[in-house]
Amino acid sequence: MTRIIVKNLPSSVSAQKLKDTFSLKGQVTDVQLKYDKDGNFRHFGFIGFKNDTEADSALTYFNNTFVGSCKIQVERCVNLGESTKGKKENKTTEVFPSPVPVKNVKPTKKQDTSNIPEDPEFAEFREIHSRGQKDKIWDNDGIDGSVTKPISTKNGSDANEEAELTDKIAHKKELSDLEYLKSKVVPGEEETDKSSKLSVKEVKIPKDYMHLKVRGFSCQVKKKDIKEFFAPLKLDSIRLPPKVKGVAYIGFSSEKEMKKALNKHRSFHAGHRISVVKSEKKTSLNEDPQIQKKNEAWVRQENDMKKEETVAESGRIFIRNLAYTVTEEDLEALFSRYGPLAETHLPIDKYSRKIKGFAFVTYVIPENAVRAYTALDGTAFQGRMLHLMAGKPKPSEGDDDDAEGTSYKKKKLKELKSKAASAHNWNTLFLGTNAVATLMAERYSTTKEQVLLESRDGQQQQQSVAVRLALGETQLVAETKQFLLENGIELNAFQDVPKQRSKTVILVKNLDAQANVEELRDLFSPFGELGRVLLPPRGVTAIIEFLEPTEAKAAFRKLAYSKFRHMPLYLEWAPVDVFRTAAQRLVSTPIENKLKVKDEGAVAALEENNPISSDKVEEQPEQDTTLFIKNLNFSTTDETLHQHFESCGRIFSATVARKKDPKNPGQYLSMGYGFVQFLSKKSTVTALKELQNSTLDGHVIELKRSSRAENKEETLATARKTSSKNKEPISSKLLVRNIPFEATIKEVKELFKPFGELKAVRLPKKMAGNESHRGFAFIDFITKQDAKRAFESLSASTHLYGRRLVLEWAASEDTVEDVRRRTTSHFSEGPPTKRNKKLDLASNGQESD
């Protein structure tokens, strides 16, 4: 349970003070102080924490401690609807104690009445009381023949008046016998008690006086002074507010008297000018027109919700009262326990950059939504009580397009937009034919027409246009891969079909060749705050990173298949691990990692503010100059580490390894080790000799050489090495699939010839004398190195006549020596395998028949 209740709080406590006090043990997500209807503090409140561990820690630490002069009591809250059996049983036993059995009760002795003198009235009294003990209370009284005298419990004149009244009723001739008997009936004790209680509970209805507000009296004015001021008028009510001095409210039962009192306006009393005005009657909440309008809106909304689908029909749940630290991952982890989720929507405020406190969750199976609704409604989540409701169906875009007369183009666009977020995988490095032709013409300073025309030397054709565009695309893809690697993109994520997609990174494809980063920022920035935006110099595929998933979804839904520079945008969610590092909001990046810096003055300012980084740019360190330092004090900083080692030589960098502090978001904790990199090997050797086992901030440190990559070139080389998941070449032969049927064997040779000398090219044809080939080919190179170079270049994204080529390693053909060796081994093995097995089974000194 992430929510606790704090009892016995002082009256002077505030929500902010309580939050500051309990935030010592964790992140407080909610503070609520409870008041009654009159605004009086009830001396208890609720506090919510981020997780259970922090709530338990706060309960243990603050229970039975003092806030001000009050000793508080801290307990765990229970979810809405959970029963607290222990508390209810205790209260029941206190209010209704079990009866104590009576043992050995002695019978009461009958009193001896023989010595009492005979008195008829006392005898009658004794007979009545003894009869009441024997008979049941609901039995009718028995009528005996003895005449009893009425016993009067009243004294003096009351008894005489009652007797006279009885005589008057008896002498009335018009009374019947039944009416006379009714008049003689005396009400019982129960009826008299009820009538007395009703008379006590009767509340006098206050008269509706006409009030005047009088201001200007002295602070010591009394009601007597006010009566003298308004004499000879009769004041029906006078009220002096306790917290407002010099003001009084007087009431009149008649309008005539009130008008006479208004004549006292601007008169003087004890040297003070008095103001007498009519007191405006306060309108009740129900009579307020604004509240009435709101109530009408609520009623209209409730009526609309009755027409909507239920949770069991739509599978969509509306969640409110969320903590402002909740993320989509937290919601998915909570609600995915009841079934697979189709969508999670967490709205973000554009100005505060925080969530709005509510969310929508849609299940694939509506039955799972019902289970989640039943189980989670009223439960505590990150310190707040969840309130679940049936969510309205998601509004569909372009409902008007379904009307008759809509063009096929609009219907097709709507269909494409609805399927834009599907999980199918586009080719990440795809380049359109038009874009390739434009970029090639720009690179070689020619026109697109010359690129697309077939070059001829006399009557002999030199190169096919399809091959020329395929080779140009291969070159552009290779440059794009190099650019992405240098800017922190993990290309391994694009090799296979991604199991999980990112919620903040979008791949933007089919861009115009002339598009730039500024145009893309202007296109996507209206939907939210952007992180990194990468666009290769000659690429038509960009990577857009948002900082909030909700804003990324809005941009994806709105811009998918929309036109940008007369071309439709193809959007796809990037793999979840496309970036090697997480997004940073307001952290300045090093100068060497910046993609494009146009303002040279800004670069100069950064270099002046960071002299160490400017040294890095001017002079690079030598190989093997990094030291690994162990056993550092957790309070040691980068500056302290730099000062400790600067006596050994020029330092390129000195950093202490850190990790995120889970208790304090945005802060970091030291991991107890660090790295120091010198510019020269001589300084490294000097540090190993002189500062080994030296003391830094009270800790004896250990030094050894570091094996991590020390410069950018080694890091990129390692990344390129690990990014390739292709198997090592098993031969020098490649199998090429998905070759277009209009391609010829000559074009296939021209495509693979630039990567090395070819041994053979085979393009199998269909049977029955058909000249068409079967759509695949075998390419055999002289060396494995040439085959590997062709595989790495053409397998990324190369299209021939619009179809992407698929390359695989093929098994090498058997030579004559291989056939002879296999035949020899076959005939030299001896008897057949089955007979050998049979003989082995019968081998126990006996032969098999």
pLDDT at 661 over 70: yes
Of 165 and 386, more confident: 386
CB 192 within 8 A of CB 153: no
pLDDT of residue 206: 52
Of 554, 512, 497, 493, the residue nearest 529 (C-alpha): 554
For residue 729, is the peptide bond before it cis, meaning its omega torsion is within 30 degrees of 0? no
Query: Each residue of 53-65: pLDDT tens digit?
Result: 999 999 999 999 9
> Tens digit of pLDDT for each residue in 405-426?
567 777 777 777 666 665 455 5
Fold of the 737-816 domain: Alpha-Beta Plaits (3.30.70)
Q: What is the pLDDT of residues 122-143, one digit of tens each?
A: 777 777 766 555 555 445 554 4
Examine the pLDDT at 48 and tell me if it is beyond 90.
yes
Q: Is the pLDDT of residue 349 over 60?
A: yes
List, in sequence order, the alpha helices (H) in 419-496: 433-443, 448-452, 465-486
Beta carbons of 656 and 636 less than 8 angstroms apart: yes
840 has pLDDT over 50: no
**Residue 615 confidence class, pLDDT cut points 50, 70, 90:** very low
At residue 211, the pLDDT reads: 85
Are the CB atoms for 421 and 573 separated by under 8 Å?
yes
Give the pair of three-digit tokens for residue 644: 């400790």
pLDDT of residue 605: 35
Q: At which residue do the structure tokens 């990199």 appear?
A: 677
3-state secondary structure of 424: coil
Q: Are 799 and 740 in contact (CB under 8 A)?
A: no
pLDDT tens by residue, 635-654: 898 888 888 988 888 888 88
* Burial group, residue 799, by CB count within 10 angstroms (0-12, 13-18, 19+): buried
Given a cut of 80, is residue 674 above it in pLDDT? yes
Give the residue among 465, 460, 472 at the shortest CA–CA distance from 449. Answer: 465
CA distance 258 to 212: 8
Pick the range with the lowest mean pLDDT from 25-39, 194-208, 317-331. Answer: 194-208
**Structural contact between residues 269 and 229, judged by C-beta atoms closer than 8 angstroms:** yes
Q: Using an 8 Å Cβ cutoff, are 56 and 1 in contact? A: no
Please provide the CATH number assigned to the domain covering 433-575. Answer: 3.30.70.330
Distance separating alpha carbons of residues 561 and 567, to the nearest angstrom: 9
DSSP tag of 17: H
The two three-digit tokens of residue 368, written as one number:
């799972």
Common-topology check for domains 210-278 and 737-816: yes
pLDDT the model gives residue 352: 82
What are the tens digits of pLDDT across the range 211-245? 889 988 888 888 888 888 888 888 888 888 887 88
Q: What is the pLDDT of residues 66-99, one digit of tens each?
A: 988 899 999 999 887 676 554 444 444 444 444 4
CB count within 10 Å of CB 620 equals: 13
Which amino acid is present at 648?
A: C
Looking at every residue in the chain, the average pLDDT score rounds to 75
- Which of the two residues, 455 and 510, has the higher pLDDT score? 510
Of all residues in the chain, what percent carry a pLDDT higher than 70? 67
- Strand, helix or coil at 335? helix
DSSP code at position 112: -
Give the pair of three-digit tokens for residue 846. 């006996």
CATH architecture of the domain with residue range 608-721: 2-Layer Sandwich (3.30)
pLDDT at site 512: 80
Q: How confident is the model at residue 814 (pLDDT cuts 50, 70, 90)?
A: low
Q: Would you say domain 307-390 falls under CATH 3.40.50.300?
A: no
More confident residue, 493 or 206: 493
Query: What distance in Å separates the CA atoms of residue 371 and residue 341, rounded to the nearest whole number?
Result: 13
Please compute the mean of the pLDDT values over residues 474-501 and round it to a whole number.
77
Q: Count Cβ atoms below 10 Å from residue 351 Cβ, excluding itself.
A: 6
The average pLDDT across 248-261 equals 87
Average the pLDDT over 415-442 and give the result: 70
The token pair that represents 816 in the structure block? 């004559």
- State pLDDT tens for residues 757-784: 888 898 888 876 667 888 899 999 988 8
- The 10s digit of each residue's pLDDT in 563-614 is 888 888 888 888 887 887 776 654 433 333 333 333 334 333 334 333 333 3
d(CA 652, CA 229): 92
pLDDT at 208: 67
Give helix 52-62 / helix 15-22 axis angle, nearest 10°. Answer: 100
Comparing 490 with 108, which gets the higher pLDDT? 490
Question: Class of the 3-77 domain?
Answer: alpha beta
Task: Write down the pLDDT at residue 647.
Answer: 87
Q: How many CA atoms lie within 13 A of 134 on its CB side?
A: 8
In eight-state DSSP terms, residue 828 is T
Higher pLDDT pick, 682 / 155: 682
Query: CA 383 → CA 11, 24, 79, 117, distances in Å?
Result: 24, 16, 11, 83
State whether residue 426 is helix, strand or coil: coil
Terminus-to-terminus CA distance in the chain, angstroms?
79
> Is 194 a residue whose pLDDT tops 90?
no
d(CA 847, CA 849): 6
Q: At what angle do helices 465-486 and 433-443 cross, to 10 degrees?
A: 80
Residue 33's pLDDT band (cuts 50, 70, 90) = very high
Helix H or strand E encompassing 611: helix 611-618
pLDDT of amino acid 105: 47
Residue whose token pair is 């586009």? 426
The answer, yes or no, to whether residue 162 has pLDDT greater than 60, is no
Query: Could you write out the DSSP letters of every residue in 653-701?
Result: EEEEEEEE-SSSTT-EEEEEEEEEEESSHHHHHHHHHHSTT-EETTEE-
Domain ranges of the chain: 3-77, 210-278, 307-390, 433-575, 608-721, 737-816
Does pLDDT of 163 surpass 80?
A: no
pLDDT at 360: 93
CATH number of 210-278: 3.30.70.330
> Within 13 Å, how many C-alpha atoms sit on residue 408's CB side?
0
Q: Is the pLDDT assigned to residue 550 strictly greater than 90?
A: no
- d(CA 154, CA 747) in angstroms, rounded, equals 133
Q: Under DSSP, is residue 34 helix (H, G, I), strand (E, B) or coil?
A: strand
Q: Given this model, what pLDDT does residue 395 score?
A: 67
> Could you give the CA distance from residue 60 to residue 74 in angstroms, rounded to a whole number?
8
User: Which H or E element spans position 714?
Assistant: helix 712-723
Query: Taking 90 as the threshold, does the pLDDT of residue 690 lie above it?
Result: no
Report the alpha-carbon distance of residue 709 to residue 716 in Å, rounded: 9
The pLDDT tens digits of the residues spanning 281-334 come to 654 545 556 555 656 777 777 777 777 778 888 889 999 999 998 998 899 999
Label residue 470 by pLDDT band (50, 70, 90): confident
Distance, in Å, from the CA atom of 148 to the CA atom of 158, rounded to the nearest integer, reads 21
DSSP readout, 308-355? Answer: S--HHHH-EEEEES--TT--HHHHHHHHGGGS-EEEEE--B-TTT-SB
Please report the pLDDT score of residue 603 as a whole number.
34
